[in-house]
Amino acid sequence: MKIGLIGLGIMGKPMAKNLLKAGYQLAVNDRNEASVAEVVAAGAAAATQAEIGGTCDVVLTMLPNSPQVREVMLGEDGVAAHMRPGSVFIDMSSINPVASKEIAAVLEAKGIDMLDAPVSGGEPKAVDGTLSFMVGGKQEVFDKFKDLLGAMGASVVRCGEVGAGNTTKLANQIIVACNIQALAEALTLAQKAGVDPQLVFEAIRGGLAGSTVMNAKAPMMIAGDEKPGFKIDLHIKDLNNALDCAHAVGAPVPMTAGVQEVLQWLHSQGEGQHDHSCIAHYYEKLADIQIGR
């Protein structure tokens, strides 16, 4: 089975390397030539999008948002124009589920099956191959390619038909964003009250408040580490998709709207490329403190 992967960013590059470690034959494409060269050095082949479409049994994408996925697959001379009937498209990007369904419908008319398979876990889990995949698509297609996704993740769960994967990812992103905001508020309270945020973190991490989000983001807030495992601008994109989807189906999401405003403010302050744990900077600005420092 020959695999093509388009998109070698923060997430896509380590995911590509894990596919190579698992023994898959891989062709890659990205606008960043240095990223392509790095993955080629690990054993992949460089290819154009047309070559990936024409020669690969499975096409994977890991791209920023719906417009990029639509353009790569369905744009003028897009990948889908070169794919053979019976080949499969797996989109690992986090996009609007409405777009996933629209792309799937076009591909189905060409005899091409699609899975939407966004991930959770950020760069650290992309590197160590323990991402969580939320997948939408036909059961038989999921069954065939579950092991392929498992080469990059520790959890691969089918959530329903095409679009269900990205709907699940939007739910995930709401929970993550609101968790980070609550954590920033709590550590700000501790700092203002004269209690060491590091000790607060150590005391509560094993209780009901403990979470994967807390374990990953509290140390970053306390150290002032801005290096992105997941960028503020990307979380803004995901929450925009969540709000659009919620408005379309009539779901109330006031907490999502609130944390989105905080993220938008941080973007306006030039922090869009920082890690989403920098939600803490909003509180530090309001409270005139630095958490843990």
Residues with Cβ within 8 Å of 123's Cβ and at least 6 positions away in sequence, in order, are: 10, 11, 14, 228, 229, 230
Catalogue the active-site residues.
169
Q: What is the rounded distance in angstroms from the CA atom of residue 223 to the CA atom of residue 293?
A: 8
Q: What is the rounded distance in angstroms from the CA atom of residue 108 to the CA atom of residue 116?
A: 14
157 with 176: CB under 8 angstroms?
A: no
For residue 262, report the phi and psi dihedrals to the nearest 5 degrees: -65, -45
Q: What is the rounded distance in angstroms from the CA atom of residue 73 to the CA atom of residue 115?
A: 14
Question: Residue for token digits 């060409």?
Answer: 110
- How far, CA to CA in Å, does 195 sit from each of 187, 218, 291? 9, 15, 10
25 with 80: CB under 8 angstroms?
A: no
Q: What is the rounded distance in angstroms from the CA atom of residue 75 to the CA atom of residue 61?
A: 14
Q: What is the rounded distance in angstroms from the CA atom of residue 43 to the CA atom of residue 144?
A: 24
Q: Is 155 helix (H, G, I), strand (E, B) or coil?
A: strand
113 with 138: CB under 8 angstroms?
A: yes
The two tokens of residue 216 are: 């990953």
